[in-house]
Every structure is written in structure tokens, then in C-alpha cells.
Amino acid sequence: MSSSDAVGETSASLQNIPATYARLKRQYQQTLDRITPHVLYRWIGTTVTIAVFELRILYAQGVLCYAHAIYLLNLLLAFLQPKFDPSLQDDLMADELEGGESDAPSPLPSTRDDEFRPFVRRLPEWQFWLSTTRATLISFFMTFSSVFDVPVYWPILVMYFCVLFVLTMRRQLQHMIKYRYVPFDWGRKTRYSASDK
């Protein structure tokens, strides 16, 4: 084999890399599209993945679990919070009132009770699931490298995470009670039929 043949094969294989990457990306997206409607099965798979990750942490005695737990707590908070924070809207309304608006009545709803606003999450369920699953898989594979095994006294991290979780959830619950929103839509959905009209 001559050197020109080797160069030609190398350049041909380098030209195939973008095509291979595009094909793999397309297959990945098709897989995600197929599993999108199966919410329960997606979350069961993610729960199993987290359980396997936790077993790996117990076996490897790694501290990577702390970073994973903090990331999941951050995702959970974004999942529970509304996309448009009512406390920020209250601040904006207070600023507008201080600005000296006219006393003429507005045709638009002026209070929170005048208008129905559905709960819109800051982080949709799909993104929450996908980010949780990706983070768990990445963390699982990171446990096999000693680079990420930082020597720390783990009971302090566990206590710190528990305190952080309790304080953060308490603040979130107070926010939910103050602004009267529930981020879950469990229960029976109301359906309207032609006979109801």
C-alpha cells in the first residue's frame, strides 16, 4: 500500500465523521421521540438508573453522589417553580403604582383573582426527566475514574445536604402557599361533552 493510498483512506474516513455524527444524532432523537409519551415508564427507568448509581456509590465509596444530589435538587426546584414568578409580578405592579398612573379603570384584569392563569413550570417535565437521566448516567460513568474521587468526610456532606434540602423545600412551600399555586395536576380531569352545553 502506498502512502498516497493511506492518505486517501484517512481523508475519506475523516469525511465520514460528520455523516456518522449526524446519523447517530438522528437515531438518538428518534429514540427520544418514541419514548416521549410513556411518562410512567420513563420515570421507572430513571428511578432504576438512580438506584444502580446509588449501589455503585456504596460500592466505590465515592463523593460524587453529593454533586449529583445537589444538581437533582436544583432541577426539582426549577420543576416546582412557576415560569413567571408571582413575587416578581407583585414587585412590578408596586413599581407601576408608585409611578403615578392615572386612576382610570383598566379594561384588563387588575388583580390575580380576575383572570385564570394555568400553572406553567419553569422546567417542563420532559426536560426534568431528560436532565435527571443524563446527569445520572454521566455521574455513573464518572465513578469509574479515580480523578473524581475526592477525599472528604462524607457524614458532613450528608448532613449539609439534608439541611439544605429541608430549608429549600420549606421556602418553596411557603412561596406556594403565599401565591396559592400547586405545581401538580393530580386527580380527575374535568371533561366537557356536547350534552353539558
Domain ranges of the chain: 38-91+120-183
Mean local confidence (pLDDT), 112-133:
79
The Cα 122–Cα 75 span in angstroms is 10
Span 21-40, average pLDDT: 92
pLDDT for residue 143: 87
- Number of helices followed by number of strands (H, E) in the chain: 6, 0
> 154: burial class by Cβ within 10 Å (0-12, 13-18, 19+)?
middle
In the prediction, which pLDDT does 183 show?
75
What pLDDT was estimated at residue 146? 83
pLDDT of 90 reads 63
117 falls in which pLDDT band (50, 70, 90)? low
Describe the chain by its helix, strand, coil percentages, rounded to 5.
Answer: 70, 0, 30
Percentage of residues in the chain with pLDDT exceeding 90? 37
User: pTM value?
Assistant: 0.70
User: What pLDDT does residue 108 have?
Assistant: 47
Q: Tens of pLDDT along 151-164?
A: 788 888 889 999 99
Query: Which residue is listed with cell 420513563?
Result: 42
Q: What pLDDT, on the 0 to 100 scale, is given for residue 154? A: 81
Mapping DSSP to helix (H, G, I), strand (E, B) and coil, where does residue 168 land?
A: helix
The confidence score (pLDDT) of residue 92 equals: 62
Provide the grid cell at 80: 416546582
Element housing 128 (H / E)? helix 125-142
pLDDT tens sequence across 51-68? 999 999 888 777 778 889
Which residues touch 130 (CB under 8 Å, ≥6 apart)?
32
pLDDT tens digit string along 9-26?
Answer: 666 666 788 888 899 999
Give 82's strand partners.
121
For residue 82, name the pLDDT band (cuts at 50, 70, 90): confident
Alpha-carbon span 129 to 176, nearest angstrom: 22
- What is the full DSSP assignment across 13-50? HHHHHHHHHHHHHHHHHHHHHHHTT-HHHHHHHHHHHH
> What pLDDT does residue 104 have?
47
Confidence of residue 179 (pLDDT cuts 50, 70, 90): confident
Banded model confidence at residue 168, pLDDT cuts 50, 70, 90:
very high
Taking each helix axis as running N to C, give the angle between helix 39-60 and helix 125-142, from 0 to 180 degrees, rounded to the nearest 10: 20
